[in-house]
Structure 1
């Protein structure tokens, strides 16, 4: 690296690291210099955000980091808990279902020991969820609903959409941060809910958002 390149490299202080984390997930691939500063300052970052009632989740192996609200350790802590800075977003059942299906797909992919990135086409994702949605006579409406669910997962940051060539459907990378949000216990609980939902569908009960 030349002296000019060293001088041009961005420099970050503590606030320069915390502010991007408050805005959302930080990925090494998006800003290597910022990621390096986070690794160097992570102890100070943890202490700083703890004052705000937050904790740092950092996965060096998967190269991502984010902030989440700390869980109250005792009833006394719960009564004096600070207002949430990180807002919880309620999810519809189909979106929760899609997250669970993508998490299972990622686990199967990792078990195969192949590439490090799981990339699925829009059709692949649609087929994952299609069989669990109520079947109606309007196929176009069903496709639109699935498209909306996929877009919602993209907005949440669990899918990364690649730019598609004209006339071709989009491909999506399943972001590995999904593993931090959907653990084995969550999947187990969701499987129970899914079994109930499938029983409703089998009984002819109409589902929805």
Structure 2
């Protein structure tokens, strides 16, 4: 008996280079978010790298962690050059509390990974509040303090480093996205304690450290 033939045109359409480039320019591409796009990216990554290089961008792809994003290529060391491409990937300063929250989440992720087990780090809103509150000015208004921290949490969600999970009542829970490892690298973590001392000094002085946002076209 012959195997029945598939009708013409029934195969899933192939993902082309422009579709991948557009998806990456919109933001981070996750394996779990679209496995078809992810598979196409792995197959076409060399062509994608060449394609985005023309735009002054480079592809950052972590196959093990399951994410990819674009970032601007380093500026040439020759500062006398007259021709510079405009930046497609925006660099945006972050407030002190958001920068601090990112650092604390990255440290928590490193501790979680060192313990083995599950690959997903999930924290409740209360867990995150406790991480941050010891570094913020004392407040007699507990509700106001929590509202402020939730505002910072929402900003980190918008940046793509936390994913809000559906919960049946009670405080929200969040998954720490593993792309945070690409934003706050191992060398940064090695200097974490020293950086916290700087943060405390800046907090007392009313200054805000800044960080840049990776990924996305702005």
TM-score computed with the length of structure 2 as normaliser: 0.85
1:153 and 2:156 are equivalent in the alignment: yes
Gaps of 5+ in 2: 209-218
2:87 alignment counterpart: 84
From the superposition, tell whether residues 26 and 80 of structure 1 become closer, same or farther in structure 2 (CA, over 3 Å).
same
Distance 2:145 2:102 in 1: 18
Aligned length: 203
Within-5 A mapping of 1:56-205: 56-76=59-79, 79-166=82-169, 168-188=170-190, 191-199=193-201, 205=204
| Greater RCO structure (CA 8 Å; 6+ sep) | 2
Kept in 2: contact 1:72–1:78 (CA 8 A): no
Distance 2:15 2:33 in 1: 15
Structure 1 runs of 4+ aligned residues shifted over 6 Å read none
The offset of 1:194, in angstroms, is 1.9
Kept in 2: contact 1:27–1:64 (CA 8 A): yes
1:23 alignment counterpart: 26
Gaps of 5+ in 1: none
Kept in 2: contact 1:134–1:207 (CA 8 A): no
2:15 alignment counterpart: 12
The offset of 1:186, in angstroms, is 2.6
1:36 and 2:39 are equivalent in the alignment: yes
The offset of 1:81, in angstroms, is 2.5
RMSD: 2.3
The offset of 1:137, in angstroms, is 1.5
From the superposition, tell whether residues 21 and 94 of structure 1 become closer, same or farther in structure 2 (CA, over 3 Å).
same
Kept in 2: contact 1:22–1:67 (CA 8 A): yes
Distance 1:94 1:71 in 2: 27
